[in-house]
Amino acid sequence: MGLAAWVQQRYVLYLMLFLAVLNMYTMRVCLSVAIVQMAHAEPSGDNATEAVDPERCPENPQQGDGGPSLTPQPDAAAEFAWDSVLQGFILSSFYYGYVVSHLPGGVFADRFGGKHALGLGLLITSLTTLLSPPAARLGAGWLITLRVFMGLGEGVTFPAISALLSQWVPPKQRSRVGAFVYAGGQLGTVLGNAISGLLLHNFDWPITFYFFGLLGVIWYVLWVALCFSTPNQHPFISAKEREYLNEHIMPASKQAFQVRTPWRGILTSLPVWGLVVIQVGHDWGFFTMLTDLPKYMRSVLRFDIATNGVLSSLPYLTMWVMSLGMSAIADWLLVRNILTLLQVRRVFTSIASLVCAAGMIGASCAGCNWRLAVGLLTAGLGGMAAAFSGMRVNALDLTRNHAGTVMALVNGGGAVSGIVSPMIIGLLTPHETMAEWRLTFWVVFVVLVVTNFIYVAVARAEIQPWDAAEDAVEEVADEKTPPVRPARLRSP
C-alpha cells in the first residue's frame, strides 16, 4: 500500500492509455503488412492480362544504391489468390464494426465509466487478432466476419479514452497528456509495420497475428488490476492525489447527478459537424497510408517484405516525434497569448491537412526515386501530427459532460473513411501501376483540402450551450458529495 500510494496513479493511467492505443494500432496494422505476403492479386475477366506499366520501378531499388539492406530473400509464395478489390474489402471490413459500436460505447463510457468499456474493447480486439490465421484459412468470408467483430470491439475504445481523460486530466495539462496518449497510435503503427516486416521476413505470416494478439491480452490483465474509471473509485490512490484531482478537474467530474445526452443540441451543432467532416478528411489520408502504404511500397516502389515494413514505419515514427513537439508549440502560443484557442485549433488542423496533402502528391510525382518518395511521404504524415493540437482535442473544448459521446460521433463518422477508402483504392488500382496510384493520391489531396476548408469555416473552441442544458439533468443521490446545481456546469 505504501508503494502504491507513493506512485502517482494518474501517471500510471496515462501510461496504460498510451499502451492501449499502441496495442490497438499494432493489431490493426499487422494485416496491412501481412496481406502483402498472404495474398497475390489475380485479375479476372477483362483484366486477366497483366497491364504494362511504362513507369515500372526496378525490383528492390534500395540494393546497390546505398539504401537499407536486410539481407532480403524472395518473398514467400502467397497462400491466397485474392484480387485487389477483395483485398480492399478485407482491409475495410474492420471499419464496418468500428463505426457501429462508437455511439453505444461513448454513451456507456459517459454514464458508467471508461475502465470496462476500454478493457473489454481491447480484449475483443486481441482475441480476434489471435483468431485471424485460422479464419483466413477457412476462407475470405470468415476473415471478413472476424474483422467486423474486431471493429465492434475497438470502436468503443476512443470514446472510452475520452471519458477517462475527462475524469483524470486537469484542464491545463490536457494538450500534453492528450498528445502523449494519442501518439501511441503513431508509435504502434511504427512498431506494427517494422516488427511485422521482420517477422514476415523470417517466419510464416500467422506469427504476426499471434505476437500482437498475445501482447494485447497481457495489457488487458494489467489494465484490470491497475486502473479505474475515476480517482474516487481508485483503491490505491493517495489522499493527496485524490484531493488534487478533485480540486483541479472541472466540476462536472464531481457532480452528484447524471446528465442525459442532449442529442438535439449535439446533432444540430455546426462545430460538431465540422469536426465530423474534418475527421473524415483526416482519416481518409491517414487510413490510406495505414492500410495501403505497404501495398504501394511493394507494387510501385517494389521493396522486399522486410524493407517494406521498416520503410513503411518511418512516416509514423516522424509523426509520433512531431506530435510531441507540436503540442509544446501549441501550448506556448496559448500561454504567450500569441494565438487564441480557436486560432490554434484552426491553424494546427490546417497544417495537418495541407502538409499531408502536399506530401502525398509530391511522392506520387517522385517516380522511382525511392529516397524522395519515402521522404515526402514521411514529411506529409509528419505534418499531420499537428492535428493532435487541433481537431483531435477540439471536442474537449466544446463539451465537459459528453466528451465520450461527441468523440464517438466524430471518430465514428470519420471511420467511414476506413470503409470507403480501401475499397476505392482497390477499384482505382486494379493493376497497381504508378499512374493508378498517382490518381489515388490526387483523390486524397482533394478530400483533405475540401474538408479542411469546411472545418475552418465552422470551428469553435468554447463550451456549447447544449452541454449544460437545464432540462438535461437528472439528480441522483450521492452520500459523499452534496448536490451540485446545474448552473455550475457553465463555469470555466
Same domain, 288 and 179: no
DSSP H helical ranges for 459-486: none
As for how many domains the chain has, the answer is 2
Whole-angstrom CA distances from 486 to 112, 401, 467 are 20, 11, 11
Highest mean pLDDT among 59-73, 116-130, 290-304: 116-130
More confident residue, 335 or 472: 335
Which residue type occupies 361? I
Is the pTM above the cut of 0.75? no
- Of the candidate ranges 101-105, 249-253, 288-292, the one whose mean pLDDT is the lowest: 249-253
Strand ranges inside 225-267, DSSP E: 257-259
pLDDT reported for residue 47? 47
Same domain, 216 and 356: no
pLDDT reported for residue 218? 97
Answer for the pair 233, 428: CB distance below 8 angstroms, yes or no: no
- Angstrom distance (rounded) from CA 20 to CA 280: 23
pLDDT reported for residue 474? 42
Same domain, 228 and 326: no
Over residues 320-336, mean pLDDT: 85
Answer for the pair 39, 137: CB distance below 8 angstroms, yes or no: no
pLDDT reported for residue 42? 55
Over residues 134-155, mean pLDDT: 93
Within a domain: residue 117? yes
Instruction: Indicate the length of the chain as a whole number.
Output: 492
**Count of beta carbons in the 10 Å neighbourhood of residue 227:** 21
Res 478 pLDDT > 50 = no
pLDDT reported for residue 77? 62
pLDDT reported for residue 214? 97
Q: Which three cell numbers stand for residue 172?
A: 491545463
pLDDT reported for residue 270? 95
Same domain, 91 and 221: yes
Which residue type occupies 242? R
Residue 185 structural domain: 9-41+79-232
Within a domain: residue 438? yes
Over residues 356-367, mean pLDDT: 89
- Residue 222: pLDDT band (50, 70, 90) is very high
Same domain, 372 and 414: yes
Within a domain: residue 238? no
Within a domain: residue 486? no
Same domain, 150 and 194: yes
Res 288 pLDDT > 90 = no
pLDDT tens-place string over residues 392-413: 888 878 887 787 788 888 988 8
pLDDT reported for residue 484? 39
DSSP H helical ranges for 365-433: 370-383, 391-398, 403-414, 416-428
More confident residue, 348 or 76: 348
CATH assignment of the domain containing 413? 1.20.1250.20
Over residues 203-213, mean pLDDT: 93
Same domain, 333 and 204: no
Highest mean pLDDT among 82-86, 217-221, 254-258, 283-287: 217-221
Q: Which three cell numbers stand for residue 28?
A: 490493426
- Of the candidate ranges 186-195, 287-296, 483-492, the one whose mean pLDDT is the lowest: 483-492
Whole-angstrom CA distances from 386 to 130, 186, 204, 294, 392 are 34, 13, 37, 24, 9
Within a domain: residue 63? no
- Angstrom distance (rounded) from CA 209 to CA 226: 26
Same domain, 201 and 99: yes
Same domain, 288 and 215: no
- Angstrom distance (rounded) from CA 406 to CA 8: 29
- Angstrom distance (rounded) from CA 121 to CA 43: 37
Answer for the pair 408, 118: CB distance below 8 angstroms, yes or no: no
pLDDT reported for residue 344? 92
Answer for the pair 380, 372: CB distance below 8 angstroms, yes or no: no
Same domain, 122 and 158: yes
pLDDT tens-place string over residues 300-316: 777 655 565 566 677 88
- Of the candidate ranges 29-38, 215-224, 271-280, the one whose mean pLDDT is the lowest: 29-38
pLDDT tens-place string over residues 233-273: 888 888 888 888 888 775 444 443 356 788 899 999 999 99
Same domain, 223 and 93: yes
pLDDT reported for residue 61? 54
pLDDT reported for residue 251? 44
Res 18 pLDDT > 60 = yes
- Of the candidate ranges 137-141, 331-335, 428-432, 438-442, the one whose mean pLDDT is the lowest: 428-432
Within a domain: residue 60? no
pLDDT reported for residue 55? 67
Over residues 328-348, mean pLDDT: 90
Within a domain: residue 351? yes
Within a domain: residue 312? yes
Same domain, 398 and 356: yes
Q: Please, which residues have CB within 8 angstroms of residue 71's CB and are 6 or more apart in sequence?
A: none
Q: What percent of the chain has pLDDT over 90?
A: 29
pLDDT reported for residue 332? 87
More confident residue, 99 or 215: 215
